[in-house]
Amino acid sequence: MEKADKRCAIVRATLDLVAEQGFHGAPMALVAERAGVAAGTIYRYFESKDVLINEVFLYLEERFFAAVMEHYPEGAPVRERFLHIGGVLVRYCIGAPLEFRFLEQFHNSPYGVAHCREKFFNKDNRDLITELFGEALDSGIVKDLPLPVLFGLAFGPLLDICRDHILHFIELDDELISRCVEACWDAIRR
Amino acid sequence: MEKADKRCAIVRATLDLVAEQGFHGAPMALVAERAGVAAGTIYRYFESKDVLINEVFLYLEERFFAAVMEHYPEGAPVRERFLHIGGVLVRYCIGAPLEFRFLEQFHNSPYGVAHCREKFFNKDNRDLITELFGEALDSGIVKDLPLPVLFGLAFGPLLDICRDHILHFIELDDELISRCVEACWDAIRR
Amino acid sequence: MEKADKRCAIVRATLDLVAEQGFHGAPMALVAERAGVAAGTIYRYFESKDVLINEVFLYLEERFFAAVMEHYPEGAPVRERFLHIGGVLVRYCIGAPLEFRFLEQFHNSPYGVAHCREKFFNKDNRDLITELFGEALDSGIVKDLPLPVLFGLAFGPLLDICRDHILHFIELDDELISRCVEACWDAIRR
Amino acid sequence: MEKADKRCAIVRATLDLVAEQGFHGAPMALVAERAGVAAGTIYRYFESKDVLINEVFLYLEERFFAAVMEHYPEGAPVRERFLHIGGVLVRYCIGAPLEFRFLEQFHNSPYGVAHCREKFFNKDNRDLITELFGEALDSGIVKDLPLPVLFGLAFGPLLDICRDHILHFIELDDELISRCVEACWDAIRR
DNA sequence: GATGAATGAGGTTTCATTCAT
DNA sequence: AATGAATGAAACCTCATTCAT
């Protein structure tokens, strides 16, 4: 196995185990076993378990960003751009339930304290959305509320319904997703 | 110290430690120290750590319910009742930040597995809100969406802003709270 | 409850619990509960758990002695006296399975180290049997073997079959008991 | 130290401590210290203390079997085969007093519950003795008694005298051992 | 004299991390 | 570079014993 592959296997094993069992269910020995490497080997790639967990988080951010940015309608109106992002967000999350569960675990945990809520979206990504919301605020299309509040109104419910879907409390389809994203738009639009 | 006081001290110590440091940061020895009792004493009041954690949760539910139900405008219109509940919810949560943090820890943890998301509101309370939403759906005032989705749209952002406030990302005041609750109403109203 | 009754209840509770669950299954709190007294009360009657266990043993010896000595055919021939003792021994043990189990637990345990094997029979009793075996040795009726060996040959198998009966490996009746005791006699007689 | 050596050291330390002090006197920390390993290391070799204890038991059975089977006079008459087994049994037990004490501790303990008394002899071994006794019963050489009773008469006293010897109540030599085994034969022969 | 809540030492077990191979 | 056995601190929990009421 090549070095990159090995590192990737460790990340993947950590992600899966944490998503499925929580941090409590992901001891290093088990991570190593799942990744097909020796326990000591992990420490050649990651300084400590804390570092490993955080790097998994960064890895997820990266993938998440790439997904959400695909086919972003750069020049379209604010509303259309928001609906795009919301839809892609939900579809991505329910299509990657383990990644989603990991992020949920991460947020409420000692590991997540360092990352504030908005870090859920990585820097570049946030800039993009921040820019979108900034433009929306300037043009008076959305309510004049602090950015974190707009984020909460816009994306909080979307993450909630992803969770509900993954836990089988509801069954999302394209039509329902659209109506949910539109409801979020109703919350923020003036 | 009386028996009830001692039990209360243990609950309080657990609540504080979990809220501040997560479950990882609340070993029984530390709980005992904070509560001013010996480690073994805890087990006279709670069968195990699991039971202790769950009882703290139940204790919080009870207090939460009592708070939200105060001055509930029984006969008022749907919109007014929703605004009341939302406002009280936010005010209570930011007024009891440790309780709020504990509940957040609880949800994403092995302990919270048994309690689905909507259980955040206790049974009687939920019935009341369910009833409110049922009435709203029947009269066509709110969008025709599954109940869990309406819950997410209505309360997800409110919990998000409570967290943001407690973590000092934003500063909530009465006026801002009102506008946020109204934005949530916009999300669900037809 | 009178003082003697209370003491007796504690002894009985200890005996039963140890017999049923072993020493491991007889914590002082449980003994107290079964005896219908408070935990601290036990220490007014017995200095420590060790002392309690040992006193239970002495209590059993006493009862055992009284039982075996009933209707002892004082002047009868050696063989007849042996058959009497053996029969009574077995019948008493299988009629008091909890007492029997306690004694078995006691022997192989830290508590039993102080009591050598022959102490199974208390002092007076042992004197009687020692006297019987001494007479038998003198008259040449039994094999010229050390006393502990004769004890082992004579009573070891009887205790074994009591255990087997109590554990339902075999079903003893009067006829089988007689044949077993006679077999033991065959072992020691010249 | 090699892996096998380490495992062996743990087994030996457990065996010695239990033999000398009982189960109560063999906490894992002490076992580890005696074996010259860290406490956690034991759990690489044995899943739990229960498993450790049981494996020590199995290890002893194996050694015991090997010893008793040496020079077994396969085709010899029943009496001679019995005398052989009895003699070897006693000589082995008094030559391995710690092993013998361990087995005694094991029988009267929560650990021994699963193993009924006859399991003292392991499966193959027991089959052999069962076969011997079966043959003896068929040919009418021994008394017509249930197998457990014959076992008790034949081996109970032998184990008793081993214990007496180890505890220095008697001093066994080859001649005395022979006479004891022959006395056991007298007990079972018709 | 009796109570039983409180104690805290000590039990078993887990697991992040190291280091000789 | 990789291994994985070994480590030992620290987790949860039990229970014989004490002492204020």
Per-residue pLDDT tens over the stretch A83-101? 999 999 999 999 999 999 9
Q: What is the pLDDT of residue B117?
A: 46
The tokens for B8 are: 């209360």
Interface touch A180/B145, C-beta < 8 Å: yes
Q: Tell me how far apart the alpha carbons of residues A104 and A98 are, in angstroms, rounded to a whole number.
A: 10
* B69 shares a domain with B42: no
Judged by a CB distance cut-off of 8 A, whether residue B126 touches chain A is no
> C24 beta carbon < 7 A from strand F?
yes
Q: Which of B166-170, C55-59, C112-116, D124-128 has the lowest mean pLDDT?
A: C112-116
C-alpha torsion angle, residues D88, D91, D96, D100 (rounded to 10): 80
Q: Tell me how far apart the alpha carbons of residues C23 and C38 are, in angstroms, rounded to a whole number.
A: 20
- Four-residue CA torsion sign, B172, B176, B178, B179: negative
Specify the CATH number for the domain of residue D179: 1.10.357.10
Q: What is the pLDDT of residue B114?
A: 56
Judged by a CB distance cut-off of 8 A, whether residue D25 touches chain C is yes
Residues in chain B predicted with pLDDT less than 70, given as ranges, are 1, 110, 112-126
Provide, in whole angstroms, the distance separating residue B62's CA from nucleotide F19's C1'.
37
The tokens for C45 are: 């009657």
Interface with B, mutate which of A20, A106, A108 (most B CBs under 10 A)? A108
* C120 shares a domain with C39: no
Q: Tell me how far apart the alpha carbons of residues D53 and D42 are, in angstroms, rounded to a whole number.
A: 12
Residues in a beta bridge with C142: C189
Whole-number average pLDDT of chain C: 89
Q: Is the CB of residue D76 less than 8 Å from the CB of residue D84? A: yes
* D63 shares a domain with D106: yes
* C32 shares a domain with C124: no
DSSP C48: S
Per-residue pLDDT averaged across C148-159, rounded?
A: 94
In the complex, which subunits touch A with 3 or more CB pairs below 8 angstroms?
A: B
pLDDT block averages, 10 residues each, chain D of length 190: 85 95 93 97 96 93 83 91 94 95 82 55 64 93 94 93 90 97 97
* D104 shares a domain with D16: no
Closest of B46, B2, B49 to residue B30, by C-alpha: B49
Residues in a beta bridge with B189: B142
Burial A5-22 (b: 16+ CB within 10 A, else e): ebbebbbbbbbbbbbeeb
How many CB atoms lie under 10 A from the CB of residue D187? 27
Q: Angle formed by the axes of helices D174-188 and D147-166, to 10°?
A: 160
Residues in chain A predicted with pLDDT less than 50, given as ranges, are 117-118, 120-122
> C174 beta carbon < 7 A from strand F?
no
- Count of structural domains, chain C: 2
Could you list the residue range(s) of the whole structural domain that residue C18 is in?
A: 1-46
Q: Is the CB of residue C18 less than 8 Å from the CB of residue C26? A: yes
Q: What angle do CA B2, B4, B7 make, to 5 degrees?
A: 110
* B171 shares a domain with B85: yes
* A67 shares a domain with A158: yes
Q: What is the pLDDT of residue B178?
A: 97
Q: What is the pLDDT of residue D127?
A: 73
One-letter amino acid of B128:
L
Closest Cβ opposite residue B104 in set A108, A160, A163: A108
- φ, ψ of residue D142 to 5 degrees: the values are -110, 165
SS3 D26: coil
| A150 CB-contact burial (10 Å; exposed 0-12 / middle 13-18 / buried 19+) | buried
- Four-residue CA torsion sign, A80, A82, A86, A92: positive
* D92 shares a domain with D33: no
Judged by a CB distance cut-off of 8 A, whether residue A142 touches chain B is no
* A66 shares a domain with A82: yes
| C67 band by pLDDT with thresholds 50, 70 and 90 | confident
Q: Tell me how far apart the alpha carbons of residues C93 and C104 are, in angstroms, rounded to a whole number.
A: 11
* A60 shares a domain with A38: no
* C56 shares a domain with C40: no
One-letter amino acid of B112:
G
Q: Tell me how far apart the alpha carbons of residues B41 and C26 are, in angstroms, rounded to a whole number.
A: 21
Per-residue pLDDT averaged across C111-128, rounded?
A: 56
Q: Tell me how far apart the alpha carbons of residues A106 and D128 are, in angstroms, rounded to a whole number.
A: 62
Q: Is the CB of residue C155 less than 8 Å from the CB of residue C83? A: no
What is the 3-class SS of C124-181, one letter each residue?
Answer: HHHHHHHHHHHHHHHCCCECCCCHHHHHHHHHHHHHHHHHHHHCCCCCCCHHHHHHHH
Q: What is the pLDDT of residue C108?
A: 73
Q: Where do we find the tokens 């078995």?
A: C104
Provide, in whole angstroms, the distance separating residue D25's CA from nucleotide E18's C1'.
32
What is the 3-class SS of B75-139, one letter each residue?
Answer: CCCHHHHHHHHHHHHHHHHHHCHHHHHHHHHHHCCHHHHHCCHHHHCCHHHHHHHHHHHHHHHHC
One-letter amino acid of C185:
W
pLDDT tens figures, A168-186: 889 999 999 999 999 999 9
Interface touch D157/C161, C-beta < 8 Å: no
Q: Angle formed by the axes of helices D78-95 and D174-188, to 10°?
A: 130
Specify the CATH number for the domain of residue D14: 1.10.10.60
Q: DSSP letter string over D128-188?
A: HHHHHHHHHHHTT-B----HHHHHHHHHHHHHHHHHHHHTTSS---HHHHHHHHHHHHHHH
The tokens for A126 are: 């946030």
Closest Cβ opposite residue D149 in set C23, C118, C180: C180
> D43 beta carbon < 7 A from strand E?
yes
Kindly list the residues from chain B whose CB atom is less than 8 angstroms away from the CB atom of residue A180: 145, 149, 153
Task: Work out the minimum CA distance from C72 to partner chain D, whole angstroms.
Answer: 24
* D94 shares a domain with D122: yes
Interface touch B183/A145, C-beta < 8 Å: yes
Q: Is the CB of residue C147 less than 8 Å from the CB of residue C138? A: no
